[in-house]
């Protein structure tokens, strides 16, 4: 798909990775609809890239319904918003529902509404997951569960929507420096573990849309290999990660 002249809706655009994606798509000549919870950050980004701001909380059913109903003029959906596991809250039903709503329910319903709104016109969906959709890390069970689910949804949705000319990409960042949940957590990685930049996330998002790539990993090759291997040997991986990764909190 040619990006110039197209319109993209980016969720989670008030966060660091969403901003990096929006900036890159803007340089490709795309018009942007920026949505998130923090109006001030969205307004600053919109002034920079010339986008339109829609303040919305994806855990709010009314806000999500409003977004789903207003996709007719959107050519590309980038479902980037996501929540991690809080380290200071018990796993209550309300917490589980909240994270599921943002990380899984919202992108599923937005994707469905987007496909319906295209009405036979070509388009593209980018579902931003994580390498934790391949291998689970200790202390991130809720986040991992939603990212495993999002990857399954994306891989199933792609062949279904290919029939109507809509591409689907599962974008899986690894450890991203300077922006996103990993950077904000302050966790020190084990020696030798390499990171990627927010700009690379934006660059590979644009490439995935342009070239209709089904799955993209924003990580060094060795981390991608380790994640794949970890998914095949979860018991061994859990023991190794428990020793390598510092405890949260």
Place of tokens 């979860």: 234
Confidence class for position 119, pLDDT limits 50, 70, 90: confident
* pLDDT of 130 over the 70 cut: yes
Verify whether residue 143 is a known catalytic residue.
yes
* pLDDT of 240 over the 70 cut: no
Confidence class for position 180, pLDDT limits 50, 70, 90: low
What is the predicted pLDDT for the residue at 225?
72
More confident site: 86 or 240: 86
What is the predicted pLDDT for the residue at 186?
58
* pLDDT tens-place string over residues 37-91: 999 999 999 999 999 999 999 999 999 999 999 999 999 999 999 998 887 778 8
Query: Pick from 31, 84, 73: which is nearest to 248 by CA?
Result: 84
**DSSP characters over 103-127:** IIIHHHHHHHHHHHHHTT--EEEEE
Q: Which of 114, 140, 143, 175 is catalytic?
A: 143
How far apart CA 167 and CA 96 sit, in angstroms, is: 30
User: Quick check: 83 and 98 in contact, CB under 8 A?
Assistant: yes
Domains of the chain with bracketed CATH? 7-244 (3.40.50.720)
- The reply to whether the predicted model has a pTM over 0.85 is yes
Q: What is the pLDDT of the chain when averaged over all its residues?
A: 88
* pLDDT tens-place string over residues 187-234: 666 566 778 899 999 999 999 999 999 999 998 777 777 777 766 666
How far apart CA 222 and CA 232 sit, in angstroms, is: 16
């Amino acid at each position: 798909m040619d990006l110039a002249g197209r319109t993209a809706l980016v969720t989670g655009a008030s966060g660091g990775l969403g901003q990096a994606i929006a900036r890159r798509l803007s340089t490709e000549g795309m018009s942007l609809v920026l949505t998130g919870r923090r109006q001030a950050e969205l307004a600053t980004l919109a002034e920079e890239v010339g986008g339109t701001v829609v303040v919305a909380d994806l855990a709010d059913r009314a806000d999500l319904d409003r977004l789903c109903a207003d996709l007719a003029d959107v050519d590309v959906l980038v479902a980037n918003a996501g929540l991690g596991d809080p380290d200071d809250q018990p796993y209550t039903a309300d917490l589980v529902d909240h994270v599921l709503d943002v990380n899984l329910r919202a992108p599923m319903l937005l994707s469905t509404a987007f496909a319906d709104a295209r009405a036979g016109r070509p388009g593209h969906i980018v579902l931003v997951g994580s390498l934790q959709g391949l291998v689970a890390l200790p202390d991130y069970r809720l986040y991992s569960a939603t990212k495993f689910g999002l990857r399954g949804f994306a891989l199933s949705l792609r062949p279904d929507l290919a029939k109507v000319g809509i591409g689907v990409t599962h974008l899986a960042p690894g450890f991203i420096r300077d922006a996103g949940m990993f950077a904000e957590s302050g966790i020190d990685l084990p020696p030798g573990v390499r990171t990627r930049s927010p700009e690379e996330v934006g660059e590979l998002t644009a490439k995935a849309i342009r070239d209709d790539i089904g799955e993209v990993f924003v990580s060094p090759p060795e981390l991608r290999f380790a994640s794949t291997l970890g998914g095949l040997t979860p018991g061994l991986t859990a023991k190794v990660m428990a020793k390598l990764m510092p405890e949260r909190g």
